[in-house]
Amino acid sequence: MRKLALSVTALFLLAGAFQQVNAQVGVTAVPFLQIEPDSRGAGMGNTGVALANNASAIFWNPAGLAFQNQNQISITHANWLPAFNADLFYDNLVGTYYIDGIGTIGGHITFLNLGEQVRTDETGLELGRFNSFELAGGLSYGFEINRNLAVGTGLRFIYSSLADGEVGGQKINPGSSIGLDLATLYKTDPFMIGDRNASFNAGLNLSNIGPSIQYTDNPQKDPLPTVLRIGSAFTVDLDSDGLNTLTIANDISKVMARNERISGQDGDPDTYETMGSFEALFKSWGSFERFNGSETVSLSLIDQLMFGTGLEYWYNNQFALRTGYYHEHEENGNRKFITLGAGLRYNIVGVDFSYLYTLEEDHPLANTIRLSLLLTFN
């Protein structure tokens, strides 16, 4: 295995547990929970909260499980941050099981490997090696209120082992927490546009509500990446016999996290205290200021939102082509990329592929490829 440079390790630490900046970006720990786990949604501009019609509903919207009556297993693999060429990889395993009279229950295991790190002292002397990784696993359930409306929930255990040893005299420990999802999904009855069948869905998912994570003996804790996602999906047959269909999906999401400025006393500099996920649900809606490394900038509520839009074309429910666009404000993550994807279905087997093309040169996410295998047992 190639050795991951210590500077890359620092990148992940700063992106999660040890960063203390006044921003929505970088405030939270375990950002791997925000990685879209299936190639279908990733190929559609990271959309899916209003679709949620396969096993990956566990991530996008667990309420979607209520409308499913099949058993599925899905496996996704991606080499993560390929620009670093550092042997990072992401794996996700999900499964759903339908129980007559109860509904569909889903489970998942998500694993992000951050590679082997080299531990050194202040002089650069090598002191050994350690492995960094993050892991989450849990169960989800959707309940059908009526044929058009469902609610869902999920609970996951989160474990994050970024480093060991000591930093600045503080012992580093693995962090752990639990995250709760709350979701709803509305589906219209099929309706006609001319002589073509159509349908419309709307969904909402509030994911990863839970206690903050602590990595050191210091009482400082870092919140989970609680994300509010809302979206819609419109599907229409392109011909009267329904062989060709087109879906247009849109997602808007926001990380519900915030650092709160604490004014210094008696000439002391201001400090920042990170809100817990429960408090941030109510206090992270306004604009805020942050220092971006060169100047102080102000982000409005609109600037804090992340937008995804996607198209999906199916032929005879066997072959799919997908594309999409994802956008974040430059001071709020600055991810701007085009996505491409394709899918095949044959008997019980489905295969999906997605490719991410960043609009910035040398972006860490450039050329990210996801491959997913989906098995369906009716």
For 181, other C-beta atoms within 10 Å of its C-beta total 24
Under 8 Å CB-to-CB from 59, ≥6 apart: which residues? 36, 37, 38, 41, 48, 94, 108, 207
What pLDDT is attached to residue 315? 97
End-to-end CA distance of the chain: 41
What pLDDT, in 10s, does the model give residues 265-280? 565 555 556 777 778 8
- Predicted confidence (pLDDT) at residue 15 exceeds the cutoff of 70: no
Q: List the chain domain ranges.
A: 6-377
* DSSP secondary structure code for residue 294 in this structure: S
Give 315-375 as a DSSP string: ETTTEEEEEEEEE--TTTT--EEEEEEEEEEETTEEEEEEEEEESSTT-TTTT-EEEEEEE
What pLDDT, in 10s, does the model give residues 113-133? 988 777 776 667 777 777 899
What pLDDT, in 10s, does the model give residues 210-219? 999 988 877 7
207 or 216: which carries more pLDDT confidence?
Answer: 207
What pLDDT is attached to residue 121? 66
What pLDDT is attached to residue 269? 54
Distance CA 274, CA 285 (A): 15
What pLDDT, in 10s, does the model give residues 39-80? 999 999 999 999 999 999 999 999 999 999 999 999 999 988
Looking at this protein, which amino acid is placed at residue 26? G
What pLDDT, in 10s, does the model give residues 172-184? 889 999 999 999 9
**pTM for the full model?**
0.86
Provide the mean pLDDT of the chain.
Answer: 86
Under 8 Å CB-to-CB from 295, ≥6 apart: which residues? none
- Predicted confidence (pLDDT) at residue 109 exceeds the cutoff of 50: yes
What pLDDT is attached to residue 265? 59
Residues 306/254, Cβ–Cβ less than 8 Å: yes
What pLDDT, in 10s, does the model give residues 307-357? 999 999 999 999 999 999 999 998 888 899 999 999 999 999 999 999 999
Distance CA 118, CA 183 (A): 42
Which CATH superfamily is 6-377 part of? Answer: monomeric porin ompg (2.40.160.40)
Nearest CA-CA partner of 117 in 137, 131, 135: 131
Looking at this protein, which amino acid is placed at residue 147? R
What tokens were used for 354?
């997605």
What pLDDT is attached to residue 24? 47
